[in-house]
Amino acid sequence: VIVVDAQTSSRSYRITVGHGLLTSLDGLWEGVIAPRRVVVCCDATVAALYLDPVRESLAAAGLDVIALVIPPGEGEKSPQRLALIYDRLYDESITRTDAVVSLGGGVVGDLAGYAAATYLRGVRFVQVPTTLLAMVDASVGGKVAVDFRSGKNHIGTFYQPWLVVADLDTLRTLPDAEMRSGGAEVVKYALLGGGALLERVERYAGSGVLPDEEIVATCVREKVTVVARDEREESGARALLNLGHTVGHAIEAATGFEGYSHGQAVGLGLRAMLWLSERCTGLDRAAAARGQRLLTSMGLPERLEDVSTDDVVGLISRDKKAVGGGVKYVLLRELGVPAPRETVAPGLEREVVEWLAHR
């Protein structure tokens, strides 16, 4: 078991990474929260796999467990589903000192977390990520949200959990595509961190085994360090975590969030970022190639397919307009040395998307 401490201005909390943790949640939160009632929120897929053991272990500890099972899919991260969750919390007379536990991936974590953040101005909240993506990214750092109209995460807030429990055993049932999706974020941390983390991720990516405690905990540590400097995305430090995401989001949006998973799109975004870094911030060719190889060995897409490059370029420009005329890209000077606020000539934006489609 590895424990990572997260410190933010609003709350400090522990992220526990290990095996066999799912049935000892109440032991892990002892001394941190003391709920009488626990609302376990998960989707139907995760419920079939893990709800019973979680429920039984909490019930055995004398807790009153309420299961809140939602259909799977990003579509549930909606104001409509949120209202149904509020209804349930209201009907069950949940109080601030009771707990909402999100058991699952990023969708459930964001949705249940937003409900927990805003019901009664905040009830106790525990993240139990069961996907690699949620373990290394969504469950840590306090971003919670629902989608609104065509805006991803358009209604949200920052609400740190009271604790995060990442049970690596849950990754055994994770579909390969989901594992690769999480792998893209792992590569992101490796490129940002460089050095030993990069080498460790390179060994892992080629191995075909599940990520170990050290890989997950190191990624979490990277994220926690950045979040501690800029909890509410105000100073700009947190923007580092957007490495690969500007182009990635445009690709997701251009395919109506259906052609590529978030992770695949981020993987393509990271490829674009390596290409741009070579041209704009002096990343050397061998380093860029090393990054591209890592993305390939993680099983991420080689190129952009079945998407109009014009649409992608258009969406990048729209994003830029939305933030007042200047998206700054996170690029790399070297592997492990980010350049956080670079502008890129519009011509190059088109060129990199064309390169992605035809490489």
Least spacing, CB of residue 149 vs a copy of itself, in Å: 6
Number of residues forming the site for a copy of itself (CB under 8 A)? 34
Active site includes 222?
A: no
Of the residues 1, 32, 59, 83, which one makes contact with a copy of itself according to CB under 8 A: 83
CA angle 145, 149, 151 (to 5 degrees): 55
Angle at CA of residue 46, ends 99 and 148, nearest 5°: 70
- Specify the stretch interacting with a copy of itself by CB under 8 A; choose among 70-78, 104-112, 113-121, 265-273: 113-121
**Is residue 13 a contact point for a copy of itself (CB under 8 A)?**
no
Q: Which is nearer to a copy of itself, 148 or 355 (CB)?
A: 148
Q: Decide: is 293 part of the binding site for a copy of itself (CB under 8 A).
A: no
Q: Which stretch binds a copy of itself (CB under 8 A): 22-30, 62-70, 120-128, 278-286?
A: 120-128
- For 12, the 3-state DSSP assignment is strand
Least distance (Å) from a copy of itself to the CB of residue 7? 13
Mask 145-164, x = binds a copy of itself (CB under 8 A)?
x--xx-x-xxxxxx------
How far apart CA 356 and CA 338 sit, in angstroms, is 21
Nearer to a copy of itself (CB atom), residue 147 or residue 167: 147
Whether residue 358 lies in the annotated active site: no
For residues 303 and 213, what is the distance between their CA atoms, to the nearest angstrom? 31
Catalytic site includes residue 238:
yes
Q: Is 327 left (phi over 0), alpha (psi -120 to 50) or beta?
A: beta
For CA atoms 286, 355, 219, 203, the dihedral sign is negative
Closer CB to a copy of itself, 31 or 347, in the complex: 31
For residues 244 and 269, the answer to whether their CB atoms sit within 8 Å is yes
Token pair recorded at residue 113: 């977390």
- Ramachandran angles phi, psi of 298, nearest 5°: -80, 0
Nearest alpha carbon to residue 66 among 33, 95, 101: 101
Contact flag: residue 223 with a copy of itself (CB under 8 A): no
The encoded tokens of residue 67 equal: 């299961």
Q: Which of 55, 238, 271, 320 is catalytic?
A: 238
Of 225, 226, 108, which is closest to residue 170 (Cα–Cα)?
108
**Catalytic site positions:** 121, 143, 185, 223, 233, 238, 242, 245, 249, 262
- Residues in the site for a copy of itself, rule: CB under 8 A? 9-10, 36, 79, 83, 86-87, 90, 93, 95-97, 117-122, 143, 145, 148-149, 151, 153-158, 232-233, 322-324
